[in-house]
Chain A
């Protein structure tokens, strides 16, 4: 019951945040130098009367806040408008692109966890050992490595030089689409996206494991003669998880920001590359739609992280 009330409370907090983002996005796009009218009604022969009629039909003669409410209303009804660039409904464009982005970011997260946890735990277990220096070095370089430079280096090494992995798209141009081909194309972009996260997770993991390893219950576990692996996994890691989960939540915005750059370089057909294409084309309905969808993804992600926090740490009371 308590947990249920907490979820409701969290949802209620998320609503004003969401509205805040929609207001911000709407204000930004209404600052654009060229009005939608000029873009949609690109006819030099049009008379003043025709322009005015069109303006009225589009609702552009209304005050800004009325226009905003109209937009918000249709947004909540699932209508994100029509793209200036492609003429397709923005909602269906986004629906096509969101899957690849979730797969890319999810894979990057998985790679991050698989690499960082062992390195971080080993570093904390034997501080100032060879392991610790390797993992600290990796984490410093990982954190400092700009995403796009990592992408260029990876493409240069693994595509241009040794030709192991393709550097662009989700499938090759043969028209055949297999899972094997898909994963083959996923390797480079997801590894690149993982690099910065790996650096940051190693640091976080080392820090929180160090703290836990000095705790009384770990000493007790050792004192009663448990072997080291169960002590590390069952006693230490289970407690070290808690700060790691909040790290998870804080990475969501970085993950999405990174996906924008990474998708663009690797021609990965996700939300990020759609965002860049829309911005290049000044396609404001698409830009606004994508931004709103990203906001929803972030809010849902944060909510899930909070719930996980609650499941992992029964001490948290609301």
Chain B
């Protein structure tokens, strides 16, 4: 009993100092810190600002011209049917960020168990799962997503689920590589020797060790998902009006007259997308460097 308590204590102390170490390394990474601040500010803005300013992205304002320029009432003007562009920009941000994060969670939930099982059991399961992952990764996912979305009906939820499910191979591969080395380790061997069940070995001993690479894969996947959603919506096959997303606001700029005469309509969502992706990528790099304790920053 005493022995267990001591070792548990010991582990807690070790875990603590490791986390401290990681946070310290992360906070030294300037670009990643700035990115984190920008992303948090962005999330707060798209959530709070519409509430504070009481913005309405759906209702036509008959008091102004349709497609009017920026004014005190409409900071970014109005769109072709008189809706407030600034409100649509903020609501669009909500949708874009939400699709990115939720679909990355779906990819994670789909990919992690597959990679875990493939790496742990090897053999035929490994072959089937990893070959499938190869097929999915070698095929342009944009094309598959387009086909899928056209078969189902495009909407926020379909787009989220389709992008999410098609993102599984990246997670499966990441996990798989880590499981291959972890399953040969002494602590797994020891667990097996005392008769721990496979399921428990996988979830309690192997899974926690793959936390770092999965977290990194998650950030990059979220960035990728945001780009994919906006590309789809830009093509008119993602988020549908009256719902807004950064991609489908840019859809209007496919008309050359909007593109040429009303840059305030399409520039903000485009720049916001660019900044968001840039920040997520920096954040991912920062996390990678912070978790890799061998690297000197």
Residues of A within 8 A of B (CB): 16-17, 20-21, 24-25, 28-29, 31-33, 140-141, 143-149, 152-153, 155-156, 160, 167, 252-254, 256-258, 260-261, 264-265, 275-276, 279-280, 282, 287, 290-291, 294-295, 298-299, 302
Contact = CB atoms under 8 A, between A and B. Distances in A.
Nearest to A271: B143
Given A144-B274, A260-B142, A298-B138, 8 more contacts: A21-B135, A31-B152, A141-B274, A146-B273, A146-B274, A153-B270, A258-B142, A260-B143
B142 A261 contact: yes
A261 B231 contact: yes
A29 B274 contact: no
B143 A302 contact: no
B112 interface: no
A111 B170 CA distance: 28
B256 interface: yes
8 contacts: A28-B147, A31-B152, A141-B274, A144-B223, A148-B234, A167-B256, A265-B254, A298-B140
A148 B135 CA distance: 26
Contacts of A302: 138
Interface string B240-264: 0000000100100110100110010
A257 B279 CA distance: 23
Contacts of B277: 143-146
B200 to A, nearest CB: 34
Contacts of A167: 256
Shortest beta-carbon contacts, A-B, top 6: A257-B142, A144-B277, A149-B270, A144-B278, A253-B140, A257-B140
Contact of B235 (A16, A160, A261, A298): A261
Contact of A140 (B141, B234, B260, B281): B281
B266 A152 contact: yes
Contacts of A24: 144
B260 A282 contact: no
B62 interface: no
A294 B140 contact: yes
Given A144-B278, A147-B231, A260-B146, A295 B237 contact: no
A29 B150 CA distance: 9
B148 interface: yes
A136 to B, nearest CB: 10
A144 B227 CA distance: 9
A144 B147 contact: no
Contacts, number: 118
Contacts of B152: 31
At the interface, is chain B mostly helix, strand, loop or mixed? Answer: helix
A167 B138 CA distance: 31
Contacts of B273: 146, 149
A141 B278 contact: yes
Interface of B: 131-132, 134-135, 137-144, 146-148, 150-152, 223, 227, 230-231, 234-237, 247, 250, 253-254, 256, 259-260, 263, 266, 270, 273-274, 277-278, 281-282
B231 A152 contact: no
A112 to B, nearest CB: 17
Contact of A264 (B235, B259, B278): B235
B14 to A, nearest CB: 32
A17 B134 contact: yes
Contact of B270 (A152, A155, A160, A253): A152
A102 B168 CA distance: 29
Contacts of B150: 279, 282, 287
Contact of B151 (A28, A254, A256): A28
A25 B147 contact: yes
Contact of B281 (A31, A143, A254): A143
Contacts of A17: 131, 134-135, 138
A145 B230 CA distance: 12
Give the most central of B138, B148, B227, B281: most A CB within 10 Å: B138
Contacts of A290: 143
Give the most central of A140, A144, A291: most B CB within 10 Å: A144
B151 A152 contact: no
Contacts of B139: 21, 253, 294-295, 298
A257 B143 contact: yes
Contact of B138 (A31, A152, A253): A253
Contacts of A144: 223, 274, 277-278, 281
Nearest to B148: A28
